[in-house]
Chains A and B, each alone.
Chain A
């Protein structure tokens, strides 16, 4: 079950992150409207719509052209039911085409919001979408791979050079002692028969000491690593690709892992969440081909069928025909019982991105454990991460820090400074 994936993934994570940040930054510079629209789109629309592809709902590229009247489109988004009721032929067709699944109403959107979303869609449509992102990802991946291999070669090289130098030094020392002996012989000074180096007690002691240090180092490191599961990538009952869902189709993480905002558990989504979309998406028709870590090709449609088998859905009759069974996923991120970890604290109060701890999840087909999840890893982050000191009024009680910030003595407050590295913040 324990399959190692390329450690390189995490090595080029930083560069990917930089790239993402750069992309987001460039986007927000381009235009204000699509920027706002993107946020709205991802929160509200992305779970059913993609700009370029038909998913639960239609592909939205060119949506404005398809509707005869922009007003009607606005009305559709506000409350699709009312448009269908009005008998607009396009709307009725659309409704029927998507097996009479009405789009949820969004009465809270202002017209400006909708325009922002439409602007984002138009913007995305011109970019060409997912293909470019994957390409970019692939390229950066390749780039860092090279760098990573070089790093490996270097240490080997250094090792070899050290070894050669050591042998040379040994030979030189032997020569030196031989010459000394010759010199002494020449001078007629009697010297004892030289001891071969492998019988020399000084050498033996040195080697034993070295072995002890090196062996101890690896033993201790190995012992510390016991029970840690970094890069753990078990085979799951269903080949669920985060890359396809969260990456290519850009479904918001919180759509499925809703607990991350509310609870200590992020929550493995219940099957009814899967079925929100998969009632209509019964086959995998993406251009991106799925492979297991071993390189075996995966049939996406067959994997969706496994979900249907579990929940008892018959895709032909579009009905639940059998009682559902839960899917037994293999848990990847395991914390010991004596650790209290709360997702909502990190996501809501700490405003952390999922990727900080889970890695480039949008690029993983099969998820592996990105971070070490060791105490040292937690604590190091708590030492450097800044809390939302100015924005979150909870921290108003730390008057002294506020004063120091004002006086310019400190520029920010880290988690550690408000007690985030104390035992009983996580162990109770």
Chain B
């Protein structure tokens, strides 16, 4: 098979001069000395030298001081029985924020939560999680949280607050009370709200989702009589067509869908089949990047595409004209695939337009999805907000007809499309109470602040899917003087029961006994004994009316704007999370910012200087974007694969200073570009203009960091080719046979290769099921105390992530294919880094781990220079206060205040300045698993030792274990199941990695073979540049 050319960005594709320069430098910058003529010519007299020598020796001696500090050992007065210092406790709980539901298990040490992972008892999401779930433990220790109730911003007591609010409520008269919340997924919380309503009959509960799914809810009501979201079953779908629904990244509950979708993307010799995924979108999403066939369109065309698809699968609508030939062909292709897999197909759409969603429902009805891939017998509660309710509320507020406004978990002053109107409305309300966790854009307008607990401090229950319950229990005593939202509401409705008791009573009544409740809390979930049968629904939507409305919708202009959510930051509620801010976006690889994403074609129209080298240049031209009568200035970012006539901007940025140190001043708020079409919010603008300004701004993009200089490190093939000849993808491995029978021993002049008895750790990463979501990156960060470095340092290529997910493009510059490749230390058995360390700080263990002794490291960085995988990270600064000198600390976003430091994993040391670090295969977990087995006097079982990244992965792309154990999953995978797809990165260099990859297979027809666009081409171009 010929080697495809992969590129991280246009600079690499066109191999520009600047690109060549930076790839030649492992470390971006020069040493921090000012190189001046006078310095170079200066002479150092012997006496000066001696003076400096003497002074520094004396200074170091005095500063070091030989006094040993006296430490205290302070035991408990009365040790809680369940706590053994040094041994973690695990509690089941549930992450339920803004409707995203994920049963979790929380690891606590000495009473403080340090890690959150999925609850593997859950059949819906298992042990998987998202970057945001992983980051939620850091949000607990967020120093920007409100620490006490306030009245007009001044601290008060709960008793005083209760008294004043009760008086104000009594004085409202007939003026209605409105509770504005994000989606509430807790049945008991809803009961508490109902109890409050019983006391105050004028009460109204409005649900508002910052990123709304109203269109779907209303369309489902119109089509099936249910204002609800169905349960999707991607695992039953052979053909998946997504019209802009980013179901692997941000759409509804991505972990659930990634898990389902992943089962059909796994492929081996025994099951040589996989689902086919078509994707239509404007901006490139994580889901789009994973599609087998991806087509771009302008956002105003979404309706037309849905109609064309419906017509092509046999729906009774007239086919609209689609000008773009490639797009029209794509629709035909997708329709054919849908028809061919009748009853095993699924269409989803990310549009918030009721009419588009009705058409999508019609398509699903046509292809027999209902009852097969869409379950209407159960529904999910993930989003419940209806946009018109919110718009009505804002009107009521401005009309002065709302007496009291309570907000909980929403921030409309920031994320409502017409925030100014909301703000003016709030001023009309007589009583304003906020339950938000911080003094955010909305809370600062409110008189009373009654801050609620973080979910890790709370009690609660969740019903994500009908009949699938999960529970929230506190894992730490409240850090601050906060109170559960429900407790407050119960108190104000005159109910003396505490929220904890209320919940307990509810469930003991439901379950029958205290024991059953204890068991439920311990498990964290209650699921039906048998998965309920899927139910269909009869479609009763008015297709003709919807089609008419779509056809009469405003046509797009020359340039269109689309808003999207980033995988890490989402709608912006968790923007004050340094881990999430620093996570490189899976697609743009940018951190700490939002920006105007445009295609290279569009970028070139602004300025002649813009072009391929732009990727390397950190100074980005700022564009002024105008749409819907609003304007915003943002730096531009070029992304291959975005529609050439589209500008995309991420929401969730531009929070104000009260949101916290990490969120403040990062990016700009794009929510004002949202518009209201009288029924739902539109997250796009059909007409936008973009102007170039003379300003420049910097974006911390990691795309150009750690270049492989065009070496072949990704292998992929198409399903057709794979079925024809499964061995073809690894044909180049035959080259290795030249060296002898066994490349491991014969491929080297030094035959003394490590020999392992007992344990030899190994990892396998399946490129087919890695969707690039980044959950593993944050899981690794949480587990291993990986430092946050901040935007300024990311620009200098100093980011510290031990596990990065490289995103490669290949093929057509405008419609590229994408591969995600998680890259971490490969734990080579013949490691290039080990040989060059002058102090043997990095060496090999008898279990095959390339170990790093931080305290031995003197920071020569030879190892990083010699690592072909570029996975070693150097501590350029003291990020964690691990140095002896306090002033060395380089604190980013308050990661080092004593509250935030509680998140550190006490089993992993924090690294000081000047040492190298890298992935350790989570050695602390491996040691712990071994010790458990040793103490029990039995051999270690497969699956007992798991790395943090492996646990977090929704699609089970990472398999880890002892390859010496022939019964282990990893050994079976390597020796039997995946022998065809298995390869090692840069295997030919005889580094003998412990991490293998499984070649990516795209479900599409074989491509006509082109001439290899390899090294020769590189040289030619390089020569051209020199000339």
Give me the interface of A with B, judged by CB distance under 8 Å: 1-2, 226-227, 229, 234, 258-259, 262-265, 267-273, 310-311, 324-331, 334, 336-338, 340, 342, 344-345, 348-349, 391-394, 396-401, 418-419, 422-425, 427-428
Contacts and interface: CB of A to CB of B under 8 A. Distances in A.
A424 B852 contact: yes
A330 B73 contact: yes
B44 interface: no
A328 B74 contact: yes
A338 B74 CA distance: 21
B68 A398 contact: no
A349 B851 CA distance: 24
A393 B77 contact: no
Given A268-B74, A397-B965, 20 more contacts: A227-B68, A259-B85, A265-B86, A267-B85, A272-B78, A328-B72, A329-B72, A329-B74, A348-B935, A393-B939, A394-B930, A394-B937, A396-B939, A397-B964, A399-B757, A419-B846, A419-B847, A422-B843, A425-B845, A428-B909
Contact of B71 (A258, A311, A331, A349): A331
B79 A270 contact: yes
B855 interface: yes
B934 A394 contact: yes
Nearest to B931: A345
A340 B908 CA distance: 9
B923 interface: yes
Contacts of B77: 270-272, 310-311, 324-326
A259 B84 contact: yes
Contact of A400 (B70, B757, B843, B855): B757
Given A234-B70, A400-B757, A422-B845, A267 B937 contact: no
Contacts of A234: 70
B45 interface: no
A311 B938 CA distance: 42
Given A329-B75, A422-B846, A427 B855 contact: yes
Contact of B72 (A330, A349, A394, A419): A330
B658 interface: no
9 contacts: A2-B68, A258-B84, A267-B86, A272-B77, A328-B74, A330-B72, A345-B934, A418-B846, A427-B855
A344 B796 CA distance: 44
Contacts of B70: 1, 234, 330
A337 B881 CA distance: 13
B605 interface: no
B68 A393 contact: no
B907 interface: yes
B785 to A, nearest CB: 11
A226 B927 CA distance: 30
Contacts of B74: 268, 326-329
B745 to A, nearest CB: 17
Nearest to A342: B931
A328 B77 CA distance: 11
Interface in B548-592: none
A401 B757 CA distance: 9
B422 to A, nearest CB: 49
A424 B845 contact: yes
B939 to A, nearest CB: 5
A330 B70 CA distance: 7
Contacts of B909: 337-338, 427-428
B908 A428 contact: yes
B87 interface: yes
B851 A422 contact: yes
A268 B75 contact: yes
Interface of B: 66, 68, 70-79, 84-87, 757-759, 843, 845-847, 849, 851-856, 882, 907-910, 920, 923-924, 927, 930-931, 933-940, 964-965
Contacts of B937: 391-394
A416 to B, nearest CB: 10
Give 6 nearest A-B pairs by CB, closest first: A263-B86, A424-B851, A324-B77, A270-B79, A270-B76, A419-B846
Contacts of A270: 75-79
B76 A423 contact: no
Q: Which of A268, A310, A336, A399 has the most CB of B within 10 A?
A: A268
Contact of A259 (B86, B846, B935): B86
Contacts of B930: 394
A232 B255 CA distance: 54
Contacts of B936: 394
A409 to B, nearest CB: 14
B540 to A, nearest CB: 61
Nearest to A222: B66
A394 B964 CA distance: 14
Contact of B938 (A258, A328, A393, A425): A393
Contacts of A392: 934, 937
A234 B910 CA distance: 29
Contacts of B847: 419
A327 B75 CA distance: 7
Contacts of B939: 393-394, 396-397
A396 B757 CA distance: 11
Q: Which of A310, A337, A400, A401 has the most CB of B within 10 A?
A: A337
Contact of A272 (B79, B846, B924): B79
A338 B855 CA distance: 7
A394 B933 CA distance: 6
Nearest to B938: A393
Given A392-B934, A428-B923, A338 B854 contact: yes
Nearest to B908: A428
A392 B936 CA distance: 8
A419 B848 CA distance: 11
A330 B846 contact: no
Nearest to A323: B77
Contacts of B923: 424, 428
Contacts of B851: 422-424, 428
Given A263-B86, A393-B939, A425-B927, A271 B934 contact: no
Nearest to B71: A331
Nearest to A421: B846
Given A326-B76, A329-B75, A337-B909, A427 B935 contact: no
A267 B814 CA distance: 63
Contacts of A348: 934-935
A265 B964 contact: no
Given A262-B84, A262-B87, A394-B934, A226 B66 contact: yes
Nearest to A271: B77
Given A272-B78, A344-B931, A394-B940, A331 B86 contact: no
A169 B882 CA distance: 57
A254 B887 CA distance: 43
B924 A329 contact: no
B84 A418 contact: no
A384 to B, nearest CB: 18
A373 to B, nearest CB: 12
A329 B934 contact: no
A334 B856 CA distance: 20
Nearest to B964: A397
Contacts of A324: 77-78
Q: Which of B73, B852, B931 has the most CB of A within 10 A?
A: B73
Given A324-B78, A325-B77, A340-B924, A267 B71 contact: no
Given A262-B84, A271-B78, A349 B934 contact: yes
A137 to B, nearest CB: 27
Contacts of B940: 394, 397
Nearest to A232: B68
A308 B290 CA distance: 67
B759 A397 contact: yes
Contacts of B854: 338, 427
Nearest to B77: A324
A327 B78 CA distance: 12
A234 B73 CA distance: 12
Contacts of B75: 267-271, 326-327, 329
A340 B907 contact: yes
Nearest to B850: A424
